[in-house]
Each structure stands twice: as structure tokens, then as C-alpha cells.
Amino acid sequence: MARKYREIGKAGWGYTAITTVVGLIYFFPVLWIILTAFKTRTDALAVPPKLFFTPTFDNFVSVFYRSSITTGTSQATDMALYFFNSIFIAGVSVTAALIVGTLAAYAFSRYPLRGNDTYLFIILTTRMLPPIVVIIPIFLMFRLSGLAGSYWGIILLYTAFNIPFSVWLVKSFFDELNPEIEDAARMDGASERRVFFRFCIPQILAGLSATFVFGLILTWNEFLFALLLTGVETRTVPVAMARTMGGEVGVDYGLLAAIVTLFLIPIFFVTFLLQNQLLRGVTFGTVKK
Amino acid sequence: MTIELKKLTKRFGSLTAVEAIDLDVGDGEVLCLLGPSGCGKTTTLRMVAGLEYASEGDVFLQGKRVNDLAPRDRNVAMSFQFYALYPSLSVAENLAFPLHGEGLSKSEINARVQRISDTLQLGGILNRTPGQLAEGEKQRVAVGRSIIRDPNCFLFDEPLSRLDVQLREEMRGEIKEVLQDLSKPTVIVTHDQLEALTMADRIAVMRDGRIEQVDTPHNVFQRPSNLFVAGFIGTPQMNLIPATFTALHGDDTAEFAVEGGQTLTVVVDPAIKTLAPGAKVTLGIRPRNLEISTEPVADGLSTRIDIVEPMGAETLAHMNDGHHDLRLVTDWRVPLTEGEQAHTRFPPGTTHIFTEDEQVLRTP
Amino acid sequence: MAEASSTQGGFGAWLLDPKRRGALLVAPALTILFVMNIFPLLWSFGLSFFNYKASSQRTPKFKGLDNYADVLTDEKVWERFQTTAVIVASSVLLQLIVGFLLALLFAKAFPLRRIVLMLVLTPMMLSFVSVGVFFKLFYEPTFGIVSYVLNFFTTEKFVMLATPAGAIAGIVIADAWMWSPFVMLLVLAGLVSVPKYLYEAAEIDRASKWRTFWTITFPYIKSLLLLAVLFRTIETFKLFDIVYIITEGGPGSSTETIAVYLYRTGFQFFKTSQSSALAYIVLFIVIVLTNLYLYAVNRREAEVS
């Protein structure tokens, strides 16, 4: 039987086709980056731009290894170090911020202080500030204390950078819990510590992991702090990428594309798995649904 | 027939929500779809409106098959369970909303809004928005909006479910009155039997996507056609006692054995003749039909009074014979003491017999 | 806690008093924020009254409000604010339009929606640096794909970033491409919060698509649109990375946003005190915007519940 009308709010495979076309157009720049990652240097800068070419994995290899012309052996590139730096710095600071932020979020949600909203407002404002506003004094501070260029300095800074985000996001998850369960647990004689670890934390584990992942992406992507406060040894991937732009030998787009493409893999997982939390994540927990 | 459903079926994946329903509603008739939640009554209503496709079967409105027409092309009016008032519009604008598609002049629209607001006494709240209304007022506006046009039929989804008891009684009368003036076929979906019994011309009792019985409110109550309807309609619930038919005396006096060894000889429908002795049956008797007796009687069971619940003018007593709990409603003046022995009596012609396939045994 | 600890654990007991539980729990977070954010801000507030230069060893002199006066009367600063305003306004507008249209497209339920949505959501998760690097490649006059495509329509060689308007457009397009999905997410949230029965009622009431949109849909998304505008304004106001990579503020200073300008004065010319003063003006603007944003958040929360 031919359907002459559609039920409200639903669409079929034809609609999927339309949205896929629109989606692909929107996705095109990313697609181009992925394609570039598989191009040789000549193909990447071919005129006219090449859509079809023989793919190569050389770019991915050269992210991590460079074969020395003189000895013929391959050795790890600096980029491998920068990848390690990015992951290490982001991992440590996001974990620290999540722990500290979760405790604070729990307090803001369950034991409101006098001036609770003011604290929350100040916390959010520090996140909304352009990094450039804070970085001038921080730069001076790091220079004086010798923290500039060290892991500890940048980790401490990124922890601070992630705390507002963690506090707001985690608080939004705590706010959604039904406090009656906690009260019931208290009536049954559970200590405050037990209430927190046995009842509250397990219920927001999904939210905590979402916060962790968003924090990782935000920190991984951060550029300005890293540009000004990391040294040769602690340089992160975005800084390394930006630095290749000014080179005299010409920009190795294939290599850059390979770096971006590598990072796309976790991003795809995140956007797929955390799609329902995405809105909350990108608005720092201020908009829930 | 102005609403006619033929073998109407709705499947959601492997689940069959509505199964091969046949139903018709005439001009000016109010039909209530009554059943427990999840029985498919709302789905049926939504298929009539066109908000849901029919998986199989047909919907006819005014003799025309409308299966493939969008809701807007079916010319139906519907009031929703959550009223579906447009939150950004005032009451007057809400009422006028369905008229915009009709190509009416502004003055004509205003005149109609005025008329509806007079009928439903909405004059004082025309400029408010739905957020500022009380539940009863929202309900009235929803009804007003659905009757402002001149549609083929009216559909109401749980119209009173969100009102409190007192308001519900008031609105029942009001809606009934309005519907009488409209003389259009109307379908009301409800899970509240009192609502159905008071407002409907006919009631269709549904269970698990099927219609169990379609009849007048009186017949649905007095002559339930099967065990489900018997148990579903009426509060307190009908007493249903599994028994074995043992012997027939004369035309309609039958003897039954119940669990626990007691026997019971009652005057029942003559159709009992068709049963062979030894057949398993279920006896059904309404709590208000059961009588209490101080002496043991042949047409009753000996019981003990378990719990006494005063209900005002009447008293509900739970009687127990060790195997069955019998509900009995009697005048409040009858003295009942918990724990005392008492005997229940099944007066002639009040006991319904249901056979093993749960259908009633009754001469047509 | 044991009695013996009352003397030596006096401070511990005092600290663990239930009255102080909230304060104790927020203490670590606030301490770190104080050390890494508030304290530096206070420091630079102090600096903004001196003539300190991070590159020189001279003892700074107190200048009072001179730095603020200098900054506020500096035509260059006003130019940078204007540039920023133009970029913010056009980018946010473009994000609104594109995000809104995308949201309308994705509001329906259709097969594989979750996967198709990923195509649109990915740009938001990329780093500014990668977006900047690759949009710069796209705009490249010789082998960039934008110039290549435009060469079908014009024989002239198209150099996007050579003119001020082109450079601004280049930045705006990259930023809007990256962040339109954000607006889409917010609008989608509004769209799915519309109860389905309202659409059903409108269908039964035979309302036109246009009327349905304005009477039913729009009221549900307008507060979220406001949120989107404010949030994106605050964020675009910070725009640094993309500009730094795509145009470096050029040609001339035509795309130098306030963030890039601050970076230049602070770290290329080392006018530390002056840039601190300007930073404080920016801080003030952000505080105002954040306040507005939170006001909008609360209003929307009141609406939803």
C-alpha cells in the first residue's frame, strides 16, 4: 500500500540520503585532510588538487619515525615526543582537575556555601576569559618561579584550566541525582563518605567519563598556553604543528594531515558514544537538554 | 455509519498493539473506548485521527476510506490527553487556531470564538496564556478548541484524566451536554469506567488490542459477555469463584461444588442446560448482589467475616470461606463484626456463569 | 575519632566538622584557581598601574590610570575592537544561520541519524590549530581547493587572504564552519523539547507549516538561540588561534582581533603594563557577557521545568 503521508517527526531512507549528502558536504574539509594524509608530498600540493591518487602510508610512518639518509636506520622523530607530551600533560591535568572538580561539584550541589552562586559564577568566568588575559601575569609568574618550560608548570596550569569545566559539568550530573536515595542511605546509617563513594559516584560514572573525555579533547586542542609556556622538551602537538607553518622548506601538509587524522580516530569514538552528552559538554554543563 | 473501522490492526515491530478491530460509530453517538493502560485504545484513536498508520485494515469517515489521508485532510477534531494547548498563544488565539485554515473572515473567527467562550464560560480567561490556567480551565479550552470547527467527528484522548475528582464530575456533565448539541460521531478514550459509564452511548471494552465487548453502559455492566469485562467493570470488582457444575434441578436451578467442599444451589440462566455435569465454570456475582444471612442456606456459602471497610452509606465486607475471598456490599446499618461467622446468599438470577473459555453462558 | 586525638587532632577535628564540609570540599579547587587564575589577575591588575616591561630590567614606575587612559584613547585599540566586533558579528550570524538550518534538517528521526550526525559534529571537536592550518591550505592561491573551484568562474587568480575583506571572510568561514554544529546542538535541544502532541494538534487543526513553526516551534527555541548567541559571542571574542595561523593578523592589521593584539603588545613588544590594562578592559566585557549568559541559562531553566 502506498503511503501518501508521513507520520509526524519521522522520515525514511530517502531522508537519510539527503542528510548524508549535506553531511558529506559539511564534512568535506575533514575528508580532504584525511585524503591529504594518504598523499605523497607531490600529490598533496598538486595543481589542480587531486581527488584520486595512489594512497601511501608514508606520512603516518614519518610522524613517528624518520629514516636517516646517512645511516639508513630509522629513528624516532621529535613529533613522537610531542605526542607523548600532549597525552601525558592532558592525561595528568585532566585527571587532577576531575578529582578536585568532583569534590567541589559535590559540595556546590549538596552543601551549598554562603555565596554559592557567586563562587560558581567566578569559576565560570575564569573559564570564559580569553586565555590571553590571564597569560600575561602567568607568564611572568612562571618565569620568576622557573616553572616555564617544565612539565609541572603546564600541568598545573592545565589543571586550573580544566577545573571550572569539571566543576560545572560534574555539578550538572550531581544535580540530576535524586537526593532521596542519599537520604535513604543516611537513614540506614551510611556515613557521608559511604554516601559519596557508594551512592553518588557510581550513579554519575558515565557523566564523569564524559567529563574526562571532553577535558582531554579541550586540553589536547589548547594552543596559546602551550605556545607560551612549554619548552623544547615539553612542547605539545598543536604547538609543533603551528611551528611547521613558518618553515622555509615549505609546509609538509601530508605530515600535518596525518597528525590530524590520527587524532580523528578518538574523536569519532567520542562523538558517536557521547552524542547525548555533547551539548552538555560543549556548554560546560550549563545547558543540559 | 460515520466512523467505521474494519479489521483495523496496528503493529509496532513484533508487538501487535491493536488487532483486527471492527467498530462503528453513528451520527451523534458517543462511543467510549475503555480498557486498562496499554490495551491499544489510544492507538486506535490515533489511527482514526491519522496520527498513526494502520498496519492493516481500513478506516472510513463519512463512508470514505481515509487510510492514506494525512490527519489534516481527514477533517477530524481531537482533544489530547495533555490538552496540547499552544503555550505561546492566548486562550482566544488557541481557540481561533483551527479556524485559520478555513479561510474565514476575521469577524467570523471572532464571532465563533465568542460563541465557544460563551458555551464553555471562558469569557474571563480569553487573554491569558495556557501557563496561567488551572487544570480545569485548560481542559475547557482544549474542548473548546476541538469543537470550534465543523469536523467529521470528535476524538477525545483521556479528556478528564488530569483533573481532580470533583472537577472531573463537573466536567463529565459539561462535556456530555456539549456533545449532545453537536450530533457528531464522537470517540472518547478512557481508562476510567465511571467516565465511560456516564458519558457513553456505547462502550467498547478493550484488552490487549482486542475488543472484548461493545454494548450500552447498562449492558456492559449487567450483561458482561466474558470474564474480563465482568471483572473489569464495576467497583468493587465482581466476585469470581471457580466451581464445578455438578447437577441441574429443573430448568435453571444448578448445583455447583467449590473448592473446600461446599456446594451451592442457585437459580441461573437457563443456558446452563447446554453444559454437561462435571464442567468447570466460573461463577460471577456482584458484591452488591450478594446477601448476608444468619443461617446457612443452600444457595450460598458459609464464611467468616474477615475485614469490614465502612464506605459511608454502604459497608464493604471481605468474607472468607477458607479458599475464596468474597466481597460483599451491604447497607451501613447491617451490623458486621470481624471474625464472626456469616453466610452469604446468591439470590436467584444474579449469578453469571462463565465457561472454561471465559465466555458467558447466557440465553441471548 | 578517639578522645586522645582531641588535643593533637584538634585542628583535624575542627577541619572535619560537618559545618565545614562544603568549604573543605571546594578548598582544593578554589586554591588551584586562586593560584593559577585569581592571583595572576590581581598581579596584572597591579601591573596595569605601572610602566612595567617584561623585557627590561628597569624598576617600574607608578603611572596611576595612565595605561588605561592610553589604551582607551589609542585609535589602534578601537580599530582592533572594531575588527573583533566585525568578525564576532559575522561569524556568530553565520553560525546561527547554518546551525539553525542544520538543526531543522536533523530534527527528524531517520535511519542512521546518529552516524550521519557525526559528519556534522566532527569539526567542533578539532583543534583550532588543525582547522587553521588546513583552511590556510584551502585558501592557498596556487594549490588551494577554494581558489581551484573559484577559477571555474573567474580567470583571475583568486588570492583570498590578500584583501582585508577576503581575509576576514576567510577567518569567519573557518570559525563558523567549526562552530555552527554547536548552534545546531543547542537548537536541536530546543526542537526535541517541543512536545510531539503540539505538532499533532497543529496537524489536526490544519495549521500551515509556517504557522506551526512560528506558534509552536519558535517559542521553544528562542531562549536557546539567545544562549547560543551569547555563548558563541563570548567564545568568538577570544578568537586567537585561527587568526594567528591563517592570517597572523594581516594583511596589514586588518584581521588583528583584540586577542591577537593583546598577544602582540604583551609578548612581541613586551608592553606588559599596557597590555594588562587592556586585558582588564577585556575581562570586564567578558564578565558582563558571562553574567548575561548565566541570566539566560537561568531563564531557560525556569522555562523548561
Phi-psi bin for A66: left (phi > 0), alpha (psi -120 to 50), beta? beta
User: Which alpha helices (DSSP H) does A38-150 contain, by range?
Assistant: 41-44, 58-64, 78-110, 116-128, 131-145
The set of residues, in sequence order, having a beta carbon less than 8 Å from that of B207 and lying 6+ positions away, is B35, B36, B39, B228, B232
Is A12 in the B-facing interface, judged by CB distances under 8 Å? no
pLDDT in tens, C41-53: 888 888 878 777 7
Percentage helix, strand, coil for chain C under 3-state DSSP, each rounded to 5: 75, 0, 25
Which three-class secondary structure state does DSSP give residue C34? helix
- Mean pLDDT, chain C, whole residue set: 83
Higher pLDDT, A266 or A9: A266
- Where among B214, B232, B250 does a domain terminate? B232
By Cβ distance, the residue of B51, B84, B100 closest to C211 is B100
pLDDT at C60 over 80: no
pLDDT in tens, C199-238: 999 998 888 889 999 999 998 888 888 888 888 888 898 8
Percent of chain B with pLDDT over 90: 44
pLDDT at A98 over 90: yes
Is A220 in the C-facing interface, judged by CB distances under 8 Å? yes
- Mean pLDDT, chain A, whole residue set: 83
Q: Which three cell numbers stand for residue C301?
A: 531553566
Structure confidence at residue C9 as a pLDDT band (50, 70, 90): low
Is B363 inside a domain boundary? no
pLDDT in tens, B109-123: 999 999 888 888 888
Is B98 in the C-facing interface, judged by CB distances under 8 Å? yes
pLDDT at B101 over 70: yes
Domain ranges for chain A: 13-76, 78-282
pLDDT at B158 over 50: yes
pLDDT in tens, B189-218: 999 888 898 889 999 999 999 999 999 999
Q: Write down the pLDDT at residue B354.
A: 93
Nearest in space to B31 (alpha carbons), one of B148, B224, B206: B206
> Given an 8 Å threshold on Cβ–Cβ distance, is B82 in contact with C219?
no
Chains that touch A (3 or more CB pairs under 8 A): B, C
Q: What is the dihedral of CA A167, A171, A172, A174, to 10 degrees?
A: 150
Q: Write down the pLDDT at residue A72.
A: 60
Same domain, B255 and B124: no
pLDDT at C126 over 90: no
Is B362 inside a domain boundary? no
- Where among B183, B203, B232 does a domain terminate? B232
Q: Write down the pLDDT at residue A250.
A: 67
Q: Angle B172-B185-A2 (CA atoms, 0-180°, nearest 5)? A: 125
pLDDT in tens, C139-151: 877 777 787 777 7
Is B203 inside a domain boundary? yes
> Given an 8 Å threshold on Cβ–Cβ distance, is A107 in contact with C22?
yes
Lowest mean pLDDT among A120-129, B144-153, C15-24, C30-39: C15-24
pLDDT at B335 over 90: no
Q: Write down the pLDDT at residue B7.
A: 92
Domain tally for chain B? Answer: 2
Is B175 inside a domain boundary? yes
User: How far are the Cα atoms of A151, A229, C34, C108 from residue A140, in angstroms, in the given order?
Assistant: 17, 10, 16, 52
pLDDT at A1 over 60: no
pLDDT at C109 over 90: no
Mean pLDDT value of segment A152-173: 90
CA-based torsion, B226, B227, B232, B236: positive or negative: positive
Which C positions 124-143 lie with beta carbon below 8 A of chain A? Answer: 124-130, 132-138, 142-143
Name every chain C residue with its beta carbon within 8 A of the beta carbon of B86.
198, 201-202, 215-216
Instruction: Please say whether the beta carbons of B153 and B186 come within 8 A.
Output: yes
What's chain C's length in residues? 305
Is A1 in the B-facing interface, judged by CB distances under 8 Å? yes
Is B359 inside a domain boundary? no
pLDDT in tens, C238-250: 888 888 888 887 7
Is A107 in the C-facing interface, judged by CB distances under 8 Å? yes
Mean pLDDT value of segment A194-220: 87
Is A271 in the C-facing interface, judged by CB distances under 8 Å? yes
Structure confidence at residue B43 as a pLDDT band (50, 70, 90): very high
> Given an 8 Å threshold on Cβ–Cβ distance, is C201 in contact with B84?
yes
Same domain, B164 and B263: no
Q: Which three cell numbers stand for residue A142?
A: 612562571
CA atoms within 13 A on the CB side of A108: 29
- DSSP annotation of C28 reads H
Interface probe, candidates A5, A15, A25, A26, chain C, greatest C C-beta count within 10 A = A26
Domain ranges for chain C: 5-47, 66-304
By Cβ distance, the residue of C115, C129, C259 closest to A130 is C259
Highest mean pLDDT: which range of A78-87, A180-189, B70-79: B70-79
In chain A the beta strands, taken as DSSP E runs, fall at 65-67, 74-76
Q: Write down the pLDDT at residue A289.
A: 65
By Cβ distance, the residue of B71, B80, B86 closest to C216 is B86
Structure confidence at residue C4 as a pLDDT band (50, 70, 90): very low
- For the beta carbon of residue A67, count every other beta carbon within 10 angstroms: 11
Nearest in space to B27 (alpha carbons), one of B145, B197, B154: B154
Q: Which three cell numbers stand for residue A152?
A: 609541572
Instruction: Please say whether the beta carbons of A254 and A55 come within 8 A.
Output: no
Mean pLDDT value of segment B246-273: 89
- Where among B173, B205, B232 does a domain terminate? B232
Mean pLDDT value of segment B139-143: 88
- Mean pLDDT, chain B, whole residue set: 89
Q: Write down the pLDDT at residue B250.
A: 85
Same domain, B16 and B95: yes
Chains that touch C (3 or more CB pairs under 8 A): A, B
Structure confidence at residue A74 as a pLDDT band (50, 70, 90): low
Instruction: Please say whether the beta carbons of B273 and B225 come within 8 A.
Output: no
Same domain, B224 and B88: yes
Q: Write down the pLDDT at residue C6.
A: 43
- For the beta carbon of residue B26, count every other beta carbon within 10 angstroms: 13
Place of cell 464493604: B316
Interface probe, candidates C32, C104, C216, chain A, greatest A C-beta count within 10 A = C32
By Cβ distance, the residue of B81, B88, B101 closest to C207 is B101
Is B50 in the A-facing interface, judged by CB distances under 8 Å? yes
> Given an 8 Å threshold on Cβ–Cβ distance, is B68 in contact with A8?
no
Higher pLDDT, B306 or C44: B306
Q: Write down the pLDDT at residue B231.
A: 92
Same domain, B262 and B226: no
Q: Write down the pLDDT at residue A285.
A: 79
Mean pLDDT value of segment B254-265: 89
Mean pLDDT value of segment A256-278: 84
Q: Write down the pLDDT at residue A21.
A: 92
CA distance C217 to chain B (A): 10
pLDDT in tens, B53-73: 888 899 999 888 998 888 888
Domain that holds residue B20: 3-232
Phi, psi (rounded to 5 degrees) for A232: -60, -40
Percent of chain A with pLDDT over 90: 11
Burial (CB count within 10 angstroms: exposed 0-12, middle 13-18, buried 19+), residue B363: exposed
Q: Write down the pLDDT at residue C294.
A: 87
What's chain A's length in residues? 289
Structure confidence at residue B221 as a pLDDT band (50, 70, 90): very high
> Is the interface score ipTM higher than 0.90?
no
User: pTM of the predicted model, to two decimals?
Assistant: 0.81
Mean pLDDT value of segment A139-163: 86
User: Which alpha helices (DSSP H) does chain B contain, by range?
Assistant: 41-49, 71-74, 91-96, 106-119, 135-147, 165-182, 193-199, 217-222, 227-232
pLDDT in tens, B337-352: 888 888 899 999 899 9
Is B29 inside a domain boundary? yes
- For the beta carbon of residue B132, count every other beta carbon within 10 angstroms: 12
Please tell me whether the peptide bond between A55 and the residue prior to it is cis, using omega within 30 degrees of 0: no
Higher pLDDT, A83 or A52: A83
Beta bridge partners of C199: none
Is C211 in the B-facing interface, judged by CB distances under 8 Å? yes
Output the CATH code of domain A78-282. Answer: 1.10.3720.10
Phi, psi (rounded to 5 degrees) for B295: -100, 150
Is C282 in the A-facing interface, judged by CB distances under 8 Å? yes
Q: Write down the pLDDT at residue C1.
A: 39
C66-304: CATH, from 1.10.1740.10, 2.102.10.10, 1.10.3720.10, 1.10.260.40:
1.10.3720.10
- DSSP annotation of B212 reads E
What is the distance between the alpha carbons of residues B194 and B173, in angstroms, rounded to a whole number? 12
- For the beta carbon of residue A145, count every other beta carbon within 10 angstroms: 11
Burial (CB count within 10 angstroms: exposed 0-12, middle 13-18, buried 19+), residue C66: middle
- For the beta carbon of residue A224, count every other beta carbon within 10 angstroms: 21
